Amino acid sequence: MNRQWIDRVAPPIYAVIDFAVIMAPSIAIKQAADKGGMGDTPGTDLVIGSLLIAFVHAVIAGRRLQSEERVALRRLDLWISALNAIVVLALLATLLLVVILRGFADEHSSLANRNYPVLALWMGVQVLAVACAELTGRFVFWWLEPERHLRKSHRRSQSRSFNRRPE
Amino acid sequence: MLNRRQLLAAGLGATGAVASGAALANHVWPLLAREDLIPGDATSIDLPHRAWTTTSDQVSFVALGDNGSGGRQAIAVAERIARTYTIQPFGLVALLGDICYYGRIEDRFEDVFERPLRPLIDAGVNFELAIGNHDTAIRRTDEGLDEIAAELRLLGTPGLYYKTTHGPVGLYYLDSSVPGLSGSESPEQLQWLDDELARSTNEWKIVVLHHPPFSSGKHGSTAAAQERLVPILTHRRVDLVLSGHDHHYERTHPIDGVTYVVSGGGCKRTPVGRSAFTAVSHSVLQFLLIDVRGERLTATCIQPDGGVVDQFELRARAGE
């Protein structure tokens, strides 16, 4: 496997994993509803909501990886940051939902009583999980490559001093 | 060679990946599939008030177990029960325990009971409860006793164990928790049951309790019930035993003449296998509609989309 080939293949694979991680909780609920004899419709709203978020985030995550590939000083750094991002995404996209749904069952039921859409809660939590994963990925990458920022700031200061040079 | 930051971040990432992968695959995703955590939207159905007919040789009722989530699945099952009422009205829902999950009944009564079952409550249908382990703990604590007391009060249930009569059917509700069935309070309750069954003049004797004497599900058969209760049921020629606890539907072949049914799919599902005693078993959301006409009892297990999971007939044993 040469490096170019990995550069081309890795981001889409990462995007697919990212997509699957976001979709997993809604698929679990949909399958349970189907097997339980609930008919076709129940759970579809959650699947569609997750699908929307998963699609958008898979594109964003894939592009993040591509852009990091271009600027990374060490290729390993981008894979470490990507791994951390996907772990945070996996945990929050499902665990946070379970904690919120189970821990605040009363509150959700009373909101449901008032026609508050569950889908909004579901999507809100998954968007929060996605935001945390993106922040984690970017932060870890930034933290792993301090030299890059030093070089960047050095270049900036050089260009500033060049601009200030009297004619 | 990894530098210190890479080592730390890679270590955290790898540990997190292994731990979260295992936790999600083994616990969290199955939990999501098994529980009923998504709040539901109860639809309003207007049912005709007290439209059922109960005579000395005819009665219809529903057995619903483990329905206490207040979530989408609980509401779907409750809605199907209401729709069934429009076709075949019934005056009673026998609750097989666990009517409240994820909190205390006093806080959640509206969510887990009143809202899902509102059409039936408004139609005047009666509810009778056999207490379950989520209504207390399997081994009762002071907090558990408070919970039971609240439930009995909210549902107007006369006691931990009691008998009611509906047409030709005598229903014997038992407390199957540890002190009730296999602890210090067991002899008193079992003696009461034996006496009541002995003096019963009902054509049909149906025992209702939460923990199933026979089950091929997650919790399995209840040893204490097999040891202490089953001999009485056999001796007193009980026709049918209804229970919940395991979240599936299962019917046994008659065991010494007694048919045992687990009907615990009121809002959640857990896997079920088959045992030598199993006639039918399905991991499905469901309730049981029981129609008694004279010497014939017809029971239909119905899932939320209206599909029939099982249907069986029994002949009254009193006349044998």
Cross-chain Cβ contact A84/B9 below 8 Å: yes
Distance between CA atoms of residues B286 and B66, nearest Å: 10
CA nearest B115 in A: which residue? A113
Q: Is A96 on the interface with B (CB under 8 A)?
A: no
pLDDT exceeds 80 at position B178: no
**DSSP states of A115-139 as a string?**
T--HHHHHHHHHHHHHHHHHHHHHH
Q: Is A44 on the interface with B (CB under 8 A)?
A: no
Query: Mind listing the domains of chain B with CATH numbers?
Result: 35-315 (3.60.21.10)
pLDDT of residue B135: 56
Q: Is A42 on the interface with B (CB under 8 A)?
A: yes
Q: State the smallest CA–CA distance between residue A154 and chain B in angstroms.
A: 22
pLDDT tens, B57-84? 999 999 999 999 989 999 999 999 999 9
Which residues are bridge partners to B13 per DSSP? none
3-state SS, one letter per residue, for A40-79: CCCCHHHHHHHHHHHHHHHHHHHHHHHHHHHHCCCHHHHH
Q: Which residue has the higher pLDDT, B310 or A39?
A: B310
- Average pLDDT estimate for B278-307: 97
pLDDT of residue A66: 85
pLDDT of chain A, 167 residues: tens digit per residue: 677 787 788 888 999 999 999 999 999 999 989 999 987 677 888 999 999 999 999 989 888 888 888 888 888 999 999 999 999 999 899 888 888 888 887 777 777 666 667 888 899 999 999 999 999 999 999 999 888 777 767 777 777 776 665 55
Q: Which residue has the higher pLDDT, A146 or B285?
A: B285
pLDDT band, very low/low/confident/very high, at B39 (cuts 50, 70, 90): confident
CA nearest A139 in B: which residue? B9
Q: What is the value of ipTM here, to two decimals?
A: 0.81
pLDDT band, very low/low/confident/very high, at B1 (cuts 50, 70, 90): confident
- Average pLDDT estimate for B81-98: 96
pLDDT of residue A163: 67
Distance between CA atoms of residues A93 and A113, nearest Å: 25
pLDDT of residue A100: 86
Q: pTM, whole model, 2 decimals? A: 0.87
In sign, the C-alpha dihedral spanning B117, B122, B123, B124 is positive
Q: State the smallest CA–CA distance between residue B271 and chain A in angstroms.
A: 11
**3-state SS, residue A109:** helix
Q: State the smallest CA–CA distance between residue B138 and chain A in angstroms.
A: 21
Q: State the smallest CA–CA distance between residue B11 and chain A in angstroms.
A: 9
pLDDT tens, B225-237? 999 999 999 999 9
pLDDT band, very low/low/confident/very high, at B138 (cuts 50, 70, 90): very low
pLDDT of residue A62: 85
pLDDT tens, B11-25? 999 999 999 999 999
Cross-chain Cβ contact A35/B269 below 8 Å: yes
pLDDT exceeds 50 at position B7: yes
Cross-chain Cβ contact A102/B39 below 8 Å: no
